[in-house]
Amino acid sequence: MKNIITIISILSTFLPFAVQAQDYSQVRRHSNVWVNECKSCHSPYQELAKNVGIRTEQYLFNFVYFHKNKDGKEFNEILSKEEIDFVARFVLIAAYLHKLETDMRKAGDHLIKKL
């Protein structure tokens, strides 16, 4: 019984690290897509996130899927669905982070005014 509890505690300790490593491998594998295909035409992703706002992941996937690059080709002809999905999630996460940062700044400004 003691061995089972020890194993469960070890697994619960290291499981979050394994999940993070798996997620980071996704970013590492597809990160060049943003640099190669998006960065040359679009503003930094923080500014893009501000302009896009909060949308659904499906909306962003469809937008990227039918979006055209600087040569006039749609990304569905150039990129795999995994890469398009990565870009859509990347922009979605950036949009949520931008909203969170903006809300936190507003809350901080509100607190400073009360002091």
Collapsed DSSP state (helix, strand, coil) of residue 68 = strand
What is the pLDDT, as a whole number, of residue 76? 93
What is the pLDDT, as a whole number, of residue 18? 44
Which is nearest to 60 in space by CA: 88, 31, 25? Answer: 88
What does the alpha-carbon distance between residue 24 and residue 26 come to, in Å, rounded to a whole number? 5
Return phi, psi of residue 56, to 5°. -80, 160
What is the pLDDT, as a whole number, of residue 23? 47
The reported pTM is 0.63
Class of the CATH-defined domain 32-114: mainly alpha
Query: How confident is the model over 59-83, as pLDDT tens digits?
Result: 989 999 999 888 889 999 989 999 9
Query: How confident is the model over 9-49, as pLDDT tens digits?
Result: 555 555 454 444 444 445 456 667 877 778 778 777 778 77
What is the pLDDT, as a whole number, of residue 77? 92
103 pLDDT higher than 80: yes
What is the pLDDT, as a whole number, of residue 90? 86
Cα 24–Cα 30–Cα 31 angle in degrees, nearest 5: 80
What is the pLDDT, as a whole number, of residue 3? 60
